[in-house]
C-alpha cells in the first residue's frame, strides 16, 4: 500500500470503490446512524490513508450530497445548509487523518498502537465538536422555526450531530485499523508469493 507519487488508475479505482461503499451504506441511513456513519467515516479515512488527502476530501463532499438524495432526513430537508457543515465536518476528519495518522500508518508494522488509537479518538472528537458547535448549537436552533413540529425533536437532532458524530467516527476508525491491517497483510503475502 505504498503511495505512488503519480495519481493513476489504481488510486481512482480505490476511491471509486470507497465511494460505492458509502453510497450503498446510505440506503440503510434511516435504520440507524450507527450503520451508515461508521462506514462513511471509515471510507473517508481509508481514502486519505490509502490514496491521498484530495480523495478523502472528494468523498467528504460527495457523501452528504448522495445522502440527501438517497435518504434525506426531514431535518436535512428543513435546513439544507446542514449539508455544507456535514461536508466541513467530514473534511475536518480527512485533514486530521492526514496530519495525525498518515505517517504512522505508512511506516509499517502494527498500527494498533496506543498513540495511533489516541489520535483516532482525537480526530473523532474534533469532528464531533465541529459539528456540535456549527450544526447542533447554531444552525438547528436558529433555522428550525419555533412553531415547527421538528422543534420538539431538537434535542435528538442535536445529539445526532454532535455526540453521535464522535461515536460513529470512533467506530469508523476501529474499521479503519482492522481493514488497513488486513489489506497490508494481504499485500505482503501477495508480494512474497510473487517473488
Identify the structural domains of the chain with CATH numbers, from first to last. 9-187 (1.10.1760)
pLDDT score for 2: 47
Q: What does the DSSP 8-state code read for residue 146?
A: T
Q: What angle do CA 102, 125, 120 make, to 5 degrees?
A: 30
Q: What is the mean pLDDT of residues 30-58?
A: 94
- For 116-125, write each residue's pLDDT tens digit: 999 999 999 9
Q: What is the percent of the chain with per-residue pLDDT over 70, rounded to a whole number?
A: 93
- For 157-193, write each residue's pLDDT tens digit: 999 999 999 999 999 999 999 999 998 888 767 666 6
Q: Whole-model pTM?
A: 0.92
106 against 1, higher pLDDT = 106
Task: Please say if the pLDDT value at position 6 is more than 70.
Answer: no
Report the alpha-carbon distance of residue 151 to residue 74 in Å, rounded. Answer: 12
Report the alpha-carbon distance of residue 76 to residue 67 in Å, rounded. Answer: 10
pLDDT score for 71: 81
Contacts of 13 (CB under 8 A, 6+ apart): none
Report the alpha-carbon distance of residue 124 to residue 122 in Å, rounded. Answer: 5
Q: How far apart are the first and last CA of the chain?
A: 17
Q: What does the DSSP 8-state code read for residue 151?
A: G
Are 44 and 96 in contact, with CB atoms under 8 Å apart?
no
- For 46-101, write each residue's pLDDT tens digit: 999 999 999 999 999 999 999 999 887 888 888 999 999 999 999 999 999 999 99
Amino acid at each position: 500500500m505504498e503511495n505512488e507519487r503519480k495519481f493513476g488508475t489504481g488510486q481512482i479505482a480505490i476511491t471509486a470503490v470507497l465511494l460505492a461503499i458509502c453510497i450503498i451504506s446510505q440506503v440503510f441511513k434511516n435504520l440507524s446512524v450507527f450503520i451508515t456513519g461508521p462506514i462513511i467515516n471509515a471510507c473517508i479515512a481509508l481514502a486519505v490513508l490509502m490514496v491521498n488527502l484530495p480523495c478523502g476530501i472528494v468523498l467528504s463532499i460527495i457523501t452528504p450530497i448522495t445522502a440527501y438524495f438517497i435518504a434525506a432526513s426531514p431535518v436535512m430537508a428543513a435546513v439544507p445548509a446542514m449539508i455544507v457543515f456535514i461536508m466541513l465536518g467530514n473534511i475536518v476528519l480527512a485533514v486530521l487523518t492526514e496530519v495525525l495518522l498518515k505517517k504512522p500508518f505508512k511506516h509499517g508494522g502494527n498500527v494498533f498502537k496506543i498513540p495511533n488509537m489516541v489520535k483516532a479518538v482525537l480526530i473523532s472528537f474534533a469532528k464531533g465538536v465541529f459539528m456540535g458547535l456549527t450544526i447542533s448549537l447554531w444552525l438547528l436552533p436558529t433555522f428550525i422555526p419555533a412553531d415547527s413540529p421538528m422543534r420538539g425533536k431538537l434535542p435528538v437532532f442535536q445529539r445526532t450531530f454532535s455526540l453521535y458524530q464522535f461515536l460513529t467516527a470512533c467506530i469508523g476508525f476501529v474499521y479503519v485499523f482492522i481493514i488497513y491491517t488486513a489489506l497490508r497483510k494481504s499485500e505482503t503475502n501477495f508480494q512474497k508469493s510473487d517473488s
